Amino acid sequence: MNFITELRKINPERRIILHQDNASLHTAQKTSQFLTEENVELLDHPSYSPDLSPNDFFTFPKIKNRLHGQRFQLPEEAVDAFKNAVLDLPANEWNKCFENWFERMQMCINIRGEYFEKQ
């Protein structure tokens, strides 16, 4: 069972819109076919726009800070640590992420797609 099936159980009439970057994994034919079959709409993401990817500006830095200095003997241990770190983030942090995401989208529109992250 996948996450889309779970969402449809909760609210079968709900429209599902997915935002993902243009990574090859996300644009692969099999992925596109699956999303089409599941009636999932895609929110366009401009190429090479890490400023707009919640994973780039929120998730990865948060998890990186939480896992800093830890060592894992097995890949499964690293995966479990990552999952636990994501699940341990409080709801208000996720809310801030999405508020910031909308602000970033507006900023990108205002500056006509130029990068705005400080290097």
> Residue 55 belongs to a domain with what CATH number?
3.30.420.10
Q: Do 108 and 56 share a structural domain? A: yes
Which region holds residue 82: left if phi is over 0, alpha if psi is between -120 and 50, else beta?
alpha
Q: Do 34 and 1 share a structural domain? A: yes
Q: Do 62 and 36 share a structural domain? A: no
Q: Using a pLDDT cut of 90, give the percent of the chain over it.
A: 21
Structural domain that includes position 99: 47-119
SS3 62: helix
pLDDT given for residue 27 in this prediction: 75
Residue 97 to residue 92: CA distance in whole angstroms: 9
pTM above 0.85, yes or no: no
Average predicted confidence (pLDDT) for the chain: 82
For the cut 70, the answer to whether the pLDDT of residue 115 exceeds it is no
8-60, pLDDT tens digit by residue?
888 888 888 887 776 777 778 898 898 888 888 887 766 666 677 787 788 88
Provide the domain count of the chain.
2
